[in-house]
Structure 1
């Protein structure tokens, strides 16, 4: 499975806190799992004013026994996040960093995206002026989506669709 996210580091964590991220949602992350690991997790940061999104994200994780909401204003939570950023043995912790239309897919996925467009949108064409079809990678509550833009059309599909 494709995983576009970087490992969480202490520096990345502190940069996010300095940028105003207060809430950090932890969830199980199957895209980061490898055979030799006990578990892989994804952490997603939210600013203080994004509390409604945090609650919505947590609601999607009711079946995830590893889901946890950290509050960076609580010292013990910040300390636990720091430990997670240290990448404890047997675990990998990734950070849901921003992606979007500046994402460059690996060659394999570039071909799969082209095949998907040919199959589902045979009338879409790339214009010579650089316009035409744009594809971005987006994360919503830990799940990956491809967002397609063509002229005035815009829609999203789960990334799993092309895997």
Structure 2
């Protein structure tokens, strides 16, 4: 999921589920700094708001070191990102997760680790309503606190 720099609006409630990806550059990506120009784009602080994004049951291989990349704006952070049952590898076995201003959590098996995602209520949400976490934050509409 990419958004052009300086964009406006929002993307919410998206679920990527039951996918196999093989030898791709960015298996899991949120990038609020996307630039489709052959020359460098001017850095802009406004961004499309991205929230309530779930990645579940995704496996495969990555061409790049950062198999998961969450490059979010400091002024409009990405929020409510949930990862569950993720298994991404590379040919040489070393993959990482990159995060900037990304709020959420991973639970269950998540490889590579997503500890760079920040969240204050991971255990609370999973214990209270595990199915809501699985359903991509449907609990937000029900008034269940998340982060």
Q: What band does the TM-score fall into relative to the shorter chain?
A: under 0.3
Q: State TM-score, norm by structure 1.
A: 0.25
User: Structure 1 or 2: larger helix share?
Assistant: 1
Return the index of the structure with the highest Cα Rg. Answer: 1
Q: State TM-score, norm by structure 2.
A: 0.27
